[in-house]
Amino acid sequence: MQKRKIGQLEVSALGLGCMGLSHGYGAATDTGDAIKLIRAAYEQGVTFFDTAQVYGPFTNENVVGEALKPIRDKVVIATKFGFELPSPDSGQHMNSRPEYVRQSVEGSLKRLRTDVIDLLYQHRVDPNVPIEDVAGVVKDLIAEGKVRHFGLSEAGAQTIRRAHAVQPVTALQSEYSLFWREPEQGIIPTLEELGIGFVPFSPLGKGFLTGKIDATATFGADDFRSVVPRFAPESLKANQTLVSAITELAASKGVTPAQIALAWLLAQKPWIVPIPGTTKLHRLEENLGAAAVALSIEDITEITDALSTIEIVGDRYPAHLAARVGK
3-207+268-292 under CATH 2.60.40.3140, yes or no: no
Domain boundary assignment for the chain: 3-207+268-292
121 is an active site residue:
no
Residue 113 CB partners (closer than 8 Å, separation 6+)? 65, 66, 68, 69, 72
Residue 300 Cα distances to 48, 252, 262, 264, 307, angstroms: 26, 14, 12, 7, 10
Q: Global pTM? A: 0.97
The SS3 call for residue 313 is coil
- Out of 25, 55, 100, 121, the active site residue is 55
**pLDDT tens-digit profile, the chain (327 residues):** 999 999 999 999 999 999 999 999 989 999 999 999 999 999 999 999 999 999 999 999 999 999 999 999 999 999 999 999 988 777 789 999 999 999 999 999 999 999 999 999 999 999 999 999 999 999 999 999 999 999 999 999 999 999 999 999 999 999 999 999 999 999 999 999 999 999 999 999 999 999 999 989 999 999 999 999 999 999 999 999 999 999 999 999 999 999 999 999 999 999 999 999 999 999 999 999 999 999 999 999 999 999 999 999 999 999 989 989 999
Residue 194 CB partners (closer than 8 Å, separation 6+)? 160, 161, 164, 169
